[in-house]
Amino acid sequence: MSTTSHLSDNLTFRSSDWLEPRSRTSTGKANVQEPTASPRRNVSASDGLVVFDHVHKAFAARGSAGEVTALQDISLSLRTGSIMGIIGRSGAGKSTLIRLVNGLDTPTSGRALFDGVDVGSLSGNALRQTQRQIGMIFQHFNLLSSRTAFENVALPLEIAGTDKTAIAARVNALLELVGLADKRDRYPSELSGGQKQRVGIARALATEPKLLLSDEATSALDPETTRSILDLLKTVNRELGLTILLITHEMSVVREIADEVVVLESGRVVEHGPVYDVFTQPQHAVTRSFFANDAGRQLPADIRARLQPGAIPGGKAIVRIVFRAASADDAVLSKLARELGVDVNIMSATVDTLAGKPFGWFIASVDGSKSADEIVAYLARYGVSAEVLGHVA
Amino acid sequence: MSPEIIRLIVNATIDTFYMVALALGFGTLIGLPLGIFLATGGKGELLAFPAAKTILGLIANATRSTPFIILVVAIIPFTRLIAGTSIGTTAAIVPLTIAAIPFIARLIEGAIREVDYGLVEAARAMGATPLQIVRKVLIPEALPGIVLGLTLAAVNLIGFSAIVGVVGGGGLGDLGIRYGYQRFMPEVMAVVVIVLIVLVQGVQSFGDRLSRRLNKRLRHSS
């Protein structure tokens, strides 16, 4: 994929729109802080390209007089230039939430602000002008089957009344950007899923939006294609300073691309913070459930079968130990063994970096000469969080 | 078969063609916007105007439930108003068009409703006006279905055109009844039926081919 290098050459974005200074890069550099002491970032409704201010949304229930609450008291703020991932199971309300941003839906109460404007209060031409500053990509691409790749990308420009020569120049540059210059005259039915989503991204970028909304944009794609699409999104975020709000049900997508993550459950925000914090210290059961498929976080099956909740005399405690940036390099485990005089046996481990910072998971068995609580307390002194999963004989 | 009879058949074929083509043309001219409105005028839909949509739907149903032969006779005063006369081939176009409008409108409504709603959402998210959505999304995307619908309408109109003989409409059906049945000339009847079959076949396969060519959802080289 040769997309990034062409960016500045081929695109005639107005620099004021696209190259504004950014508070944080997608690698999260400005976000480095002592992780153990970091409280989850507070939402302030004062600034941010997108602000949800006590948003509440209810739908009339089908076939009865009642109402279904889709969103409850959502307050979030998305800074210009950042990537926020909203994760939740289906029915959690995440689609409803992003549809409030571009006025496809309106909140029952509260406000959804885009660039300081209450989108729900707009209608007619004012709403359409705002919508042209927001691009959107979809799970099923939503490309017009009757239009070629070129014509699909041209559609939002035609709608905005751009003249033909300007459209041609811009569309060609966008197709170049997404790596589909050679497919300009192909119809969607002749393109692969990943290529269709590239057309979708080019189309979403056509009107030089400030914000890109991504509605499960990679959910219909295979893992490899997903990665290349996420790379493309990262590129446009980094090179064009485009702010991205994406919803997904896959933690891996959030991990790959987002700076911040919001966990939505039954219409409420149950967890919100920098990706690193939420990944290394998930607070809520729902958040943890999204990691259930993460191999590194699983107990080996034979241990899980023997696991018991209570301490067993002469048995071992099974402990999950999480190393975060500050502690990941320290030899805490050997100190633990030496100073407490316990045998530590690592059963599974994952060491990785996330948002440029190292983190690690260990599942270890610790012999029973010290109580599990003592071990957890000892590790906590070194800023290492540990969790007793159970005991085995 | 005498040259006289052959000339009659040729003329009747031209009459049928003339009636069907014009009725289809006028019917589409009026039926297309009505069909689009039927597909988008409901509550919460693109051109939401539910009261008008309901009334329009009722009129369409009423027209379609009236047997064509009764419609032809019932609207004679209206036909005279439009065509200046109530008999003859040109006059017959009026009832044919009136019958075609609701039929075409319903077929186009169906074709428009087949368009993936996600496309309308995408266009709305781009800041498209309802009219832009109709013009740039719904009609182009529904075109293969619309063409199939109009093909069906054309075939139906060929059938209907046989009935307008009662108001001197001429055409193949009329010829078949007058010569084949009333003058005991079964060979004329047979030729009329064969010509009608060929006509319908031709219209149908032309419509099918055009629809397939317009349908870019199918992978094919064109």
pLDDT tens, A199-228? 999 999 999 999 999 999 999 999 999 999
- Rounded CA-CA distance A49/A79 in Å is 6
Res A189: pLDDT: 94
Res A357: pLDDT: 79
CA distance B118 to chain A (A): 6
Q: Which residues of A touch B130 (CB under 8 A)?
A: none
pLDDT, one tens digit per residue, over B143-185 is 999 999 999 999 999 999 988 877 788 889 888 888 888 888 8
Cβ–Cβ below 8 Å for B126 and A138? no
CA A377 to chain centre: 32
CA distance B40 to chain A (A): 17
Any A CB within 8 A of B76 CB: no
To test the contact with chain B by mutation, choose from A102, A145, A219 the residue with the greatest count of B C-beta atoms within 10 A, namely: A145
Q: Which residues of A touch B141 (CB under 8 A)?
A: 144-146
Res B106: pLDDT: 96
CA distance A6 to chain B (A): 26
Res A170: pLDDT: 96
Among left, alpha and beta (phi > 0; psi -120 to 50; other), residue A20 is beta
Q: Which residues of A touch B136 (CB under 8 A)?
A: 155, 158-159
A-contacting residues of B 15-44, CB under 8 Å?
A: none
Q: Which residues of A touch B127 (CB under 8 A)?
A: 127-132, 156, 159-160
* Other Cβ atoms closer than 10 A to A24: 17
- Rounded CA-CA distance A167/A117 in Å is 28
Cβ–Cβ below 8 Å for A159 and B140? no
Residue of B nearest to A153 (CA): B126
- DSSP helix/strand/coil, A50: strand
CA distance B18 to chain A (A): 32
Given a cut of 70, is residue B130 above it in pLDDT? yes
Any B CB within 8 A of A2 CB: no
Domains of chain B and CATH, by start: 3-214 (1.10.3720.10)
Residue of A nearest to B141 (CA): A146
Helix B50-65 and helix B3-40: axis angle, to 10°?
150
A-contacting residues of B 96-125, CB under 8 Å?
A: 116, 118-119, 121-125
Name the average pLDDT for chain A: 82
Residues 6+ apart with CB under 8 A from B203: B151, B154, B155, B158
Least confident of B20-24, B117-121, B161-165, B191-195: B161-165
CATH 3.30.70.260, domain A300-392, yes or no? yes
Q: Using CB atoms, which residue from A127, A140, A187 is nearest to B216?
A: A187
Residues 6+ apart with CB under 8 A from B69: B163, B166
* B83 residue type, one letter: A
Residue of B nearest to A130 (CA): B127
Residue of A nearest to B133 (CA): A159
Q: Using CB atoms, which residue from A104, A159, A188 is nearest to B121?
A: A104
Least confident of A367-376, B13-22, B204-213: A367-376
Q: Using CB atoms, which residue from A130, A145, A190 is nearest to B141?
A: A145
Q: Using CB atoms, which residue from A136, A159, A187 is nearest to B128?
A: A159
What is the DSSP code string of A250-314?
Answer: -HHHHHHH-SEEEEEETTEEEEEEEHHHHHHS--SHHHHHHTTT-GGGSPPHHHHHH-BSS--TT
Domains in chain A: boundaries: 4-28+41-290, 300-392
Res A34: pLDDT: 35
Residue of B nearest to A100 (CA): B125
Res A327: pLDDT: 59
Q: Which residues of A touch B123 (CB under 8 A)?
A: 155, 159
Res A150: pLDDT: 97
Long-range contacts of range A230-237, CB-CB < 8 Å, 24 or more positions apart? A230/A256, A230/A257, A231/A1, A232/A1, A232/A3, A232/A178, A232/A179, A232/A198, A232/A201, A233/A83, A233/A201, A233/A257, A234/A26, A234/A83, A235/A3, A235/A4, A235/A7, A236/A177, A236/A201, A236/A205, A236/A212, A237/A26, A237/A81, A237/A83
Homologous superfamily (CATH) for A4-28+41-290: P-loop containing nucleotide triphosphate hydrolases (3.40.50.300)
**Which of A191, A148, A142 has its CA nearest to residue A171?**
A148
Name the average pLDDT for chain B: 92
Tokens 């696209």 sit on residue:
A18
Question: Confidence band (pLDDT; 50, 70, 90) for A229?
Answer: very high
B-contacting residues of A 115-144, CB under 8 Å?
A: 127-132, 134, 136, 138, 140, 142, 144
Question: Confidence band (pLDDT; 50, 70, 90) for B61?
Answer: very high
Any B CB within 8 A of A220 CB: no
Q: How much is the average pLDDT of A365-389?
A: 81
pLDDT, one tens digit per residue, over B62-120 is 999 999 999 999 999 999 999 998 888 999 999 999 999 999 999 999 999 999 999 99
Any A CB within 8 A of B135 CB: no
Residue of A nearest to B140 (CA): A146
ipTM of the complex: 0.88
Q: Which residues of B touch A158 (CB under 8 A)?
A: 136
Res A328: pLDDT: 53
Cβ–Cβ below 8 Å for A131 and B124? yes
* Other Cβ atoms closer than 10 A to A33: 14
Res A113: pLDDT: 94
Cβ–Cβ below 8 Å for A129 and B140? no
Cβ–Cβ below 8 Å for A104 and B124? yes
Least confident of A256-270, A364-378, B146-160: A364-378
Cβ–Cβ below 8 Å for A102 and B125? yes
Q: How much is the average pLDDT of A36-65?
A: 69
Any A CB within 8 A of B210 CB: no
CB A72 within 8 A of CB B92: no
Res A294: pLDDT: 63
